[in-house]
Amino acid sequence: MMTVSEAAKAFLACDRYLILTHRNPDGDTVGSASAFCRGLRALGKSAYLYRNPQITKTYLPFAEPLFAPEGYVPDVTVAVDVADVRMYPNGYTGRPEYCIDHHGSNPGFAGETCLMAHKASCGEAVLEILKAMNAPIDGDVADALYAAVSTDCGAFQYRNTTADTLRAAAELIELGADHVALNKKLFRTFSRGRLTLEGMVYTTMRQYRDGTLNVAAVSLKMLEEAGAAEEDMDDLASLAGKLAGVEASVTLREMAGGMVKASVRTNGNPDASKVCAKFGGGGHVMASGCSMECTLEEAEARIVAAMLEEWQ
């Protein structure tokens, strides 16, 4: 494990960087990698991003101008926000010399790792490292880091948000991040398919147990009618929990081939992992998942019964 100052020293001594984002890339990995790449360049280094084919159009503007050209041969590879070798981006087969991360579970797969597990986002770790390197931080770097920080803490709403997260965001605004435009783009803009699907969920969800259990069921027909794509499914399981009075929610999604996927969210009671274990699934006490081979209606009846049984 490297400290921030050790990492800064090591990165100042190298050149010809390739920077990896993780599989199923989110705002934190793309924003952090983009900012780190630009910061290295501002210090006179050669630096490019691995051409991760999964980066979606929301985050592509941060990454695309920095993608490594065909045939680029790096001296050092740095994995950013990559928690495990299983999270290597599609097509990558090497072993990174360095890793910058904030996942406490990171096993240290890279040559050297700078792990800041107390940070809500990897973006906060990259900000500290760039400052320790005295890298110039311009508006583009600040934008990328603001995207990283703010998306990983759910626009400062999630449980992982700390005073330090808010201070990092404050610093990035002062460094030139266009937080107004980024907030609008990242948190207040939705596709037609997503909004229609949300609308369908809100108008069809059903309550049980005096309104403390809320169930949303999303059929293949609804998805088709909404014109919703896979990317419109992000965080779908959080919608049913928005209803006042709800202590636990289940989101059911009909899959092709007669399967139903269930996502269970609770305040801890009932234990979501115990409920899902009954159907061969699992996860955490407050968030778990499982699959069933049945109709949506049957899945709802089964999982509601299991929830009521486990409720203390």
Interface with a second copy by CB under 8 A: which residues?
155-157, 159, 161-164, 166-167, 169-171, 173-174, 179-180, 183, 187-192, 195-196, 198-203, 205, 207, 241-244
Spatial distance between the Cα atoms of 252 and 296, rounded to a whole number of angstroms: 7
The answer to whether the Cα torsion of 106, 110, 111, 114 is positive or negative is negative
Identify which of 29, 227, 41 has the alpha carbon closest to the alpha carbon of residue 122. 29
Least spacing, CB of residue 18 vs a second copy, in Å = 32
Least spacing, CB of residue 160 vs a second copy, in Å = 9
Edge-first strand order for the sheet with 259-266 is 206-208, 213-218, 248-255, 259-266, 287-293, 282-283
Least spacing, CB of residue 131 vs a second copy, in Å = 16
Spatial distance between the Cα atoms of 20 and 148, rounded to a whole number of angstroms: 15
Give burial (CB, 10 Å; 0-12/13-18/19+) of 173: middle
Considering beta carbons, is residue 170 or 259 the nearer one to a second copy?
A: 170
Considering beta carbons, is residue 106 or 165 the nearer one to a second copy?
A: 165
Edge-first strand order for the sheet with 76-80 is 47-49, 17-20, 76-80, 98-101, 112-115
Considering beta carbons, is residue 87 or 216 the nearer one to a second copy?
A: 216
Considering beta carbons, is residue 191 or 219 the nearer one to a second copy?
A: 191
Least spacing, CB of residue 241 vs a second copy, in Å = 8
To which residue do tokens 């997260």 refer?
Answer: 165
Least spacing, CB of residue 242 vs a second copy, in Å = 5
Considering beta carbons, is residue 73 or 163 the nearer one to a second copy?
A: 163
Considering beta carbons, is residue 233 or 243 the nearer one to a second copy?
A: 243
To which residue do tokens 């049980």 refer?
Answer: 208
Least spacing, CB of residue 311 vs a second copy, in Å = 20
